[in-house]
Amino acid sequence: MLNMIKMTGVLLMIAVLSACGGGDGFSGGTTPEPDPSEQPPSDSNSAVTAAISLATSQISIKSDNSDSATVTATVLDANNAVVPGVDVAFKASGGQLTASAVKTDDTGKATVLLSSGSSDPSNRIATVTATVTGIAPAQIPVKISGSTITITASKTSLIPVTAPTATLTLTAKNASGQGVYNAPLTLSVAGVGATPGVATLSATTGNTDVSGVLSATITGSSPGTVRLAVSGLGYAATQDFTVVSVASAFQITAPTSSPASASIGSNLTVTVSAPNSSSVRFVTTLGVWDGSANSMVIKPVSGGVASAVLSSAVNGGVANVQVLDANNSTIQDSIAVLISAPASTASAITLQSDVSVLAPSSGGLVNQAILTATVKNASLQPVANAAVIFSISSATGGGESLSIAYGLTDSAGEIKSTFTSGNLASTQSGVVVTATVVDAAGVMIDSADKSIVIGGAAGSVVVGGGTEVAALDPATYSYPMSVLVADTNGNAISGAVVTLSVWPAYYAGGYWVDTDPDPSPDAVICGVARFGASLNEDGNENLTLDAGEDIGPNEDLNSNGSLDIPTDLNGDGDYVDAGENPGVAYVDNGITIRLSEDLDGDAAPDFVLPDGQLTPGNSAGGAAPRTLVTDSNGVATFSLVYLKAHAAWIKTRIRASVEVFGTETTGTINLWLPAQREEAESCLLPDSPFNPAGL
């Protein structure tokens, strides 16, 4: 029997089951990196198609990429019978498809998944188009929704000259309520209603920060009603403001600054102009009114004015003071009062910096850190007017400096100094800034240090996978992954923008086979058997079929120029048992074995069988967000999404690039797309879509 097989030149290229990844990840067999390849693809169905229709499992998907719509194309012939094996090309005007081309199954259906993707969280309509050669394409719209914009204003009553401006906080969120980074917003304001007012904006466009927030101001100049409109992410929000004249305005006239300042044990008179009110309600979140035990009092208006005295005998902090027309609570004004301990009670100081790693300053480029020293008393209350001295130690000698060396704390117990880096990098321990609080005689009470590393160019970016593979839907896997960015000193770099790319570097033919030595039909543990791995045919990665690229999968794995004997997978000593036909799929002791042979009948090995297209398609490697932003640990997480049909058969290259302080660093990982362990070992996954025709 063995000699007969050698004469017929049958080739079986099956790799043994390899080790599995941790948790639920199952990555399949490991195979030596191969020669370029040449197996023939399956022939396309040649049936004449007459019509194509599209359907979707849901008409709307979320803008946060958390769900997907199943879009199904059905192909019929002239007799309205389904047509299997036809190539259907898919494209979408927005969102993200799991594949750009799919063959119809035995029911004439080809299915893809549409999700919003991670690169564009805006609300929009994504039109999916399905095309089959020779007939009119079909289209279906799917709504991408859920992103919002909220407007928060410090006040809605604007008083020209005395208090004309309100602070605006504009927040852009996706469908899951997470802030959207770098979302472009457009602002406008116009007079509305019976008495249109006039107001201006500090900016009419802007992009949100990493929290999804854009700040701006609105300033009223002429009495009446104005409407602020904010648009972005396919969403629009509005907020009305009233611009009132000074003569009729309900407003706090004293103190004039916000936040105002007061000391523990002192009195602060709050005065309200209320020309059209009979009484005013005074409310505070800290302290009491008029020496009583009450945090709320109602005072009569006399001569268009009402006032009350705020004090706090023991506690310091921020008092949010609100005044309202006692008969109409929609008429109101507010002010913040910082109540602090006197300087004589100072006992402790802390020092914080807005950054811990700073680039060197050179060539006109100045890099700075904002240092904030906070002084408190023994009761942990902020201390105002405390004297603080700033100094530098462990200097590099490159010219680093501080903006102030001495100053007094404000009502919040804080004082700031700006640290400017020099032109030399520091050691890993950094430059040390010290803040010292002293008493009236200059004697030290307490001190605090803060280390700032100068240098911090991106030293490395690494990519890693998780331990569990999740089923996103019946046809799709989601694999959690992370990137970590550290500087040259090994410190985490937060806020770094990481760019990702995904490419199916290798593909393999093969089958899922029962590898359990127990012959019992109930004892089945599937493992992956590969033909090896072939390089992606698109050698220059330009998504175009160039000359010499359509090389097909390689049968001659050992490059000996001949077809080789199949492996004895079941270990029974026979390569092919009696009655079995080489070259045809058969079962040997419960194991399905498929043999590759002389496919075209010319009694010679078949090395190059081009199919007129690039294999595999670029989306076979999966999809990931285009950009990520690292957190305070230098980490950014994402999910690699791919079809179950490609698990174990595609080796994907994931490349992460980051630019920090003008230096670009790249990290790469190559991995066989993992399968969920339960589905893999239960033989629920399909064999390789890259197997030669007839095998």
Tens-digit pLDDT profile for residues 463-518: 999 888 999 899 999 999 999 988 766 778 877 889 999 999 888 888 888 776 66
Which bin fits 430, alpha (ψ -120 to 50), beta or left (φ > 0)?
left
| pLDDT for the residue numbered 456 | 57
Q: In 118-266, which ranges are E strands?
A: 124-131, 138-145, 148-153, 157-158, 165-173, 184-192, 198-201, 205-207, 213-222, 224-232, 235-243, 251-254, 260-263
| pLDDT for the residue numbered 17 | 32
Residue type, 165: T
Q: What are phi and psi of 264, to 5 degrees?
A: -60, 130
| pLDDT for the residue numbered 522 | 62
Q: Would you list the domain boundaries of the chain?
A: 51-145, 148-243, 265-340, 343-454, 458-507+618-675
CATH superfamily of 458-507+618-675: Immunoglobulins (2.60.40.10)
Per-residue pLDDT band for 5 (boundaries 50, 70, 90) equals very low
| pLDDT for the residue numbered 278 | 96
CB atoms within 10 A of CB 669: 15
| Listed residue (318, 311, 219) closest to 270, CA to CA | 311
Q: Which DSSP letter does residue 686 get?
A: P
* CA pair distance 533, 31, nearest whole angstrom: 7
pLDDT at 70 over 90: yes
- The domain 343-454 is placed in CATH, from the list 3.40.30.10, 3.20.20.140, 1.20.1290.10, 2.60.40.10, at 2.60.40.10
Q: Which DSSP letter does residue 82 get?
A: B
If DSSP codes are grouped into helix, strand and coil, which group holds residue 564? coil
- With residue 539 as reference, give the H or E element that holds it: none
Contact assessment for residue 386 and residue 361, using Cβ atoms and an 8 Å cutoff: no
Report the range of poorest mean pLDDT among 171-185, 321-335, 510-524, 575-589: 575-589
pLDDT at 338 over 90: no
DSSP bridge pairs for 320 = 336
- With residue 137 as reference, give the H or E element that holds it: none
All residues at 6 or more sequence positions from 587 whose CB lies less than 8 Å from its CB, including other chains: 593
pLDDT digits (tens, 9 = 90+) for 138-153: 999 999 999 999 999 8
Residue with the bigger pLDDT between 331 and 548: it is 331
Contact assessment for residue 63 and residue 122, using Cβ atoms and an 8 Å cutoff: yes
Tell me the pTM.
0.43
All residues at 6 or more sequence positions from 78 whose CB lies less than 8 Å from its CB, including other chains: 48, 50
* CA pair distance 66, 174, nearest whole angstrom: 10
| pLDDT for the residue numbered 518 | 64
pLDDT at 298 over 90: yes
* CATH class belonging to 148-243: mainly beta
* CA pair distance 657, 630, nearest whole angstrom: 12
| pLDDT for the residue numbered 551 | 58
Contact assessment for residue 438 and residue 384, using Cβ atoms and an 8 Å cutoff: no
576-585 in b/e burial notation, b at 16+ Cβ within 10 A?
A: beeebebbee
CB atoms within 10 A of CB 272: 25
- Residue with the two structure tokens 């690292």: 630
- Residue with the two structure tokens 């390789």: 688
Q: In 28-82, which ranges are E strands?
A: 51-56, 60-62, 69-76
* CA pair distance 243, 394, nearest whole angstrom: 55
pLDDT at 215 over 80: yes
pLDDT digits (tens, 9 = 90+) for 394-449: 888 888 999 999 999 988 889 999 999 988 878 777 899 999 999 988 999 999 99
Contact assessment for residue 421 and residue 361, using Cβ atoms and an 8 Å cutoff: yes
pLDDT more than 70, % of the chain: 79
What's the CATH number for 265-340? 2.60.40.10
Token representation of residue 660: 């920090």
Report the range of poorest mean pLDDT among 138-147, 339-348, 521-530: 521-530
* CA pair distance 630, 621, nearest whole angstrom: 24
* CA pair distance 152, 230, nearest whole angstrom: 12
Contact assessment for residue 450 and residue 353, using Cβ atoms and an 8 Å cutoff: yes
| pLDDT for the residue numbered 417 | 95
* CATH class belonging to 51-145: mainly beta
Per-residue pLDDT band for 3 (boundaries 50, 70, 90) equals very low
Contact assessment for residue 119 and residue 144, using Cβ atoms and an 8 Å cutoff: no
> CA 648, 652, 654 angle in degrees (round to 5)?
145
**Residue 330 CB-density burial (10 A; 0-12 exposed, 13-18 middle, 19+ buried):** exposed
| pLDDT for the residue numbered 516 | 67
Contact assessment for residue 454 and residue 491, using Cβ atoms and an 8 Å cutoff: no
Average pLDDT, the chain: 81
Percentages helix, strand, coil for the chain (3-state, rounded to 5) are 5, 50, 50
Token representation of residue 284: 């505070």
- Residue with the two structure tokens 């997470």: 178
| Secondary structure of 257-310 as H, E, C letters | CCCEEEECCCEEEEEEECCCCCEEEEEECCCEECCCCCCEEEEECECCEEEEEE
- Residue with the two structure tokens 């080796």: 651
